[in-house]
Structure 1
């Protein structure tokens, strides 16, 4: 008769058996021929981070890794600096493996098909590539397309002018679509024409309609882009992309980080040297996240850090301090990027049939370029289909009586301006520069545009005017990048010119001019 195992040994055996059944293993390897197959002569790469969305482990000297696995787990390699990852035909990085044995729940759009049991080994290919410490990357906010017509707007208004770019990659900040994830494929194929790897953030309009749990709100997103929280590195910069849109049981959403994301940030940052710049990427501005302090506690002691978002259809530089729960040694710079769609593709159409799409704060639709030099960064806004130096609008009457100019003020909307920008004006023929004061106001042009909105629901001969004017614009919002100053007194009769000069926090200087008449 066989002797029974002692209870302690039996428990240990069962625990080890359970661990083996709920762990994924794999290798990160140097894919010398870039065929995405681990050939016999291709060795593993040590000290590369791999994650399951919560835990982060380093590969051993053979490139092998092991992580816990659940029944809905996205595994991904964190691209290290100096290496590339495969991309698909649309330039979407293929740095992940989705483990969903039963597939996604059924919703109005398809999620991930059943993946079956865990593979014996989940292998991630990398290959060496040259990466300079100085490089640039695109930042697209909210393309937010509502159909193929607006997909075409994205292509003609923004994407086509980005072809031939020296940028190394791009990041979309969420709301790729407007509640129809079926359009991901069309948007991806178009943006992919730029020809650089493109990373994507989850937005509140990218969700699976009909999902009954926040865990399943990003199933179609995952099918196209992989895990909705992940990281990658380039040069001296580590990018952490987080899904900070949380759907509540009543179908609404809030800006929120779940515990697994906070654990992921905490665990990954233990492997990121403090001399590297960390860029936190998300859809909703960090200041509206209900548990932002939990994230702040993980990052506020890092000396090199900033964060970016979209969502608000305005552009702003926030310097986050104690008011928002930040207790770091210096304010945290959070940049709310311009949107590709502007004000949801609303407004009068131009000669090409594309709406002006001016954002609610008076800035034009467009995108930004991030430029990095080691662990330093700068941001440069680019208005869609406008010259690169179109960075402001000057508001001043064209003509007034001489007596009226003594009480007239000039307003300047510096689209990407911040409280750290310097804005000043000079009258032609004079040498003095007159400083302007930042003065949050509604943009005058947006107010004028908005007055068209009552007509958008009207009809002429049975044709709705929104076919001509586009979607109804939202209410104008306060712009936090408007400057105001008094005009010089006793201007002589005739034609005059003022020049406005602005220098931003990165030392970038722009000028613009306005011609007016005194009668």
Structure 2
């Protein structure tokens, strides 16, 4: 099936970002300074101390350099700020991560792979015996843990572009190369996000954590800091307790949860994957069954630990009321794709909403391998029944899609990566938040395409629906191709045939207009109104282009989407070639034009 032809675009300009450092070459490189205790038992093991300092000499050593006041420092439980000399003191305990919140106007050092260095893991004896290693023994508590930063005009700028990247989720080295040829190559050619960087929102690997070194090399090709948070495929599955379930992730990539500032934005990177899970008193219906046997049959659930919730509340107390707060987690606080399943949403979604009441905020996530742009006020049946969310969402929630798309399924194209069309008909890619002050505009970049590719067109005819019903069980591919998918006959038009527009980041404020053969047309109708109803699922709510690719070449089936619009083709169309011109307009007035050519015949032969 031929792809739709992309036409013109009117785009609100994205804010430009400066290079990530000011005079430090291709980025401020370095590490935290860990000063070991003079001898074991000589220090006070009950507290961890140190300095946040401006590394004017770029030596990585605190001695002789100026301390930085009012920087937030945490051990994962307690939150403090540095004094006038940049000093901090926190309670110490085994298996803690000490980290700082990067302040706006400063940048923490990055390693050779662009991964920020702003934390210290303290686990004296190291992890228990884990397949992928976990955390190496750290030994006694250091005398000091010091955190260097440099001044940065880039992170001070109120104009930021911040990449949100879902589910890299590579299974093996072949898929590492798919990612490199696809989204990583795209990011390597962009320089608009260098100040804010990229945030990979979980499922960085696909269970094989030995791939972390290869993944780190991948992000070394991007431009700007590359941050990570954990997903349900980043678990040390041989850990018997949640305490060590993400040790290998922590050793290689980042703390389980942390925060950082750029411009007038405060990012909170959360771990909302509970493994091995147990149901809590406030868990929604269904969680108890999923988490009933944490020892014999362990599973995961979308939940934030009590300790982390306490940390979040303390963290937000140090955030100015006028900042934009971006709450990021692998599992969406809520999502559309799994709106009726508690495991794939977060138990405390309503509690997080309450913590952010009155603030400018947006939630971002991955996990569902779907693209979802949910506005304040949007509602779904499952959110109320499972999570107690009434009157719709209080602020936007964005599911960023996946770099892996539908787990790298489908045909490998000329670009060297698979089509991997998702179960919502969306294509692989990344989301960017273009921020000005505390306001943002979201945009989606399809892997391997320019930013004017935002829609996907198809024809949903009786012939297509009959083919769908006959072959819808072939998720592994192998269905025969639908003959002449862009040809409809008189009977098709009489029985109901419509043009479909999959507007990848289309929200409920979006609009889709259709013109047939250059004549004034009409307004397409959104298949999912997001007014508290359940999902609409089936052939009539599907994306025909996506489904034909999936049933023939393999992958999930795009039988539902929150961003699909339909337009009934007139029953009196004359035989011959016709053109449908589609103009999709997003919530910010940006217009995207797409064109589809189709043919009407009197009767199929």
Tell me the TM-score normalized by structure 1: 0.88
> What CA deviation, in whole Å up to 9, does each residue of 1:208-227 have, x standing for no partner?
13111111011010111231
Indicate which of 237, 249, 258 corresponds to 1:230: 258
Indicate which of 551, 565, 569 corresponds to 1:487: 569
Residue 443 of structure 1 aligns with which residue?
A: 543
Instruction: Indicate the larger mover: 477-486 or 55-64.
Output: 477-486
Give the Å deviation of 1:194. Answer: 1.2
Q: Structure 1 residue 156 and structure 2 residue 181: aligned? A: yes
Give the Å deviation of 1:421. Answer: 1.2
Task: Note closer, same or farther for the CA distance 1:404–1:360 as it changes in structure 2 (3 Å cut).
Answer: closer
> What CA deviation, in whole Å up to 9, does each residue of 1:51-86 have, x standing for no partner?
111211111111111111110110001001000000
Give the Å deviation of 1:22. Answer: 1.3
Residue 458 of structure 1 aligns with which residue?
A: none
Do 2:524 and 2:565's aligned partners in 1 also have CA atoms closer than 8 Å?
Answer: no
Other structure's SS at 2:570 match: coil
Indicate which of 132, 135, 150 corresponds to 1:109: 132
Unaligned runs of 5+ in 1: 1-16, 453-468
Indicate which of 110, 113, 129 corresponds to 1:87: 110
Task: Note closer, same or farther for the CA distance 1:412–1:507 as it changes in structure 2 (3 Å cut).
Answer: same
Other structure's SS at 1:368 match: strand
Task: Note closer, same or farther for the CA distance 1:329–1:409 as it changes in structure 2 (3 Å cut).
Answer: closer
Residue 55 of structure 2 aligns with which residue?
A: 31
Equivalent-residue separation in structure 2 for 1:486 and 1:87 (angstroms): 53
Structure with greater contact order relative to length (CA < 8 Å, sep ≥ 6): 2
Equivalent-residue separation in structure 2 for 1:327 and 1:298 (angstroms): 16
Indicate which of 253, 257, 279 corresponds to 2:300: 253
Q: Structure 1 residue 296 and structure 2 residue 349: aligned? A: no
Residue 497 of structure 2 aligns with which residue?
A: 408
Count of residues in correspondence between the two structures: 482
Other structure's SS at 1:479 match: coil
Written as runs of structure 1 = structure 2, the 5 A alignment for 1:351-500 is 351=414, 354-396=417-459, 398-401=486-489, 404-405=492-493, 407-439=496-528, 440=536, 441-452=541-552, 473-500=555-582
Task: Note closer, same or farther for the CA distance 1:437–1:234 as it changes in structure 2 (3 Å cut).
Answer: same
Other structure's SS at 1:286 match: coil
Equivalent-residue separation in structure 1 for 2:516 and 2:451 (angstroms): 24
Indicate which of 70, 84, 89 corresponds to 2:93: 70
Indicate which of 307, 311, 321 corresponds to 2:363: 307
Do 2:526 and 2:563's aligned partners in 1 also have CA atoms closer than 8 Å?
Answer: no
Give the Å deviation of 1:195. Answer: 2.9
Give the Å deviation of 1:400. Answer: 3.0
Do 2:425 and 2:546's aligned partners in 1 also have CA atoms closer than 8 Å?
Answer: yes
Task: Note closer, same or farther for the CA distance 1:404–1:204 as it changes in structure 2 (3 Å cut).
Answer: closer
Task: Note closer, same or farther for the CA distance 1:329–1:518 as it changes in structure 2 (3 Å cut).
Answer: closer
Indicate which of 498, 503, 508 corresponds to 2:585: 503
Equivalent-residue separation in structure 2 for 1:110 and 1:68 (angstroms): 27
Equivalent-residue separation in structure 2 for 1:128 and 1:356 (angstroms): 42
Unaligned runs of 5+ in 2: 1-40, 277-293, 335-344, 460-484, 529-535
Other structure's SS at 2:307 match: helix
Do 1:230 and 1:241's aligned partners in 2 also have CA atoms closer than 8 Å?
Answer: yes
Other structure's SS at 1:193 match: coil
Equivalent-residue separation in structure 1 for 2:232 and 2:505 (angstroms): 24
Larger radius of gyration: 1
Other structure's SS at 2:433 match: strand
Task: Note closer, same or farther for the CA distance 1:80–1:484 as it changes in structure 2 (3 Å cut).
Answer: same
Q: Structure 1 residue 43 and structure 2 residue 61: aligned? A: no
Equivalent-residue separation in structure 2 for 1:351 and 1:484 (angstroms): 31
Give the Å deviation of 1:146. Answer: 0.8
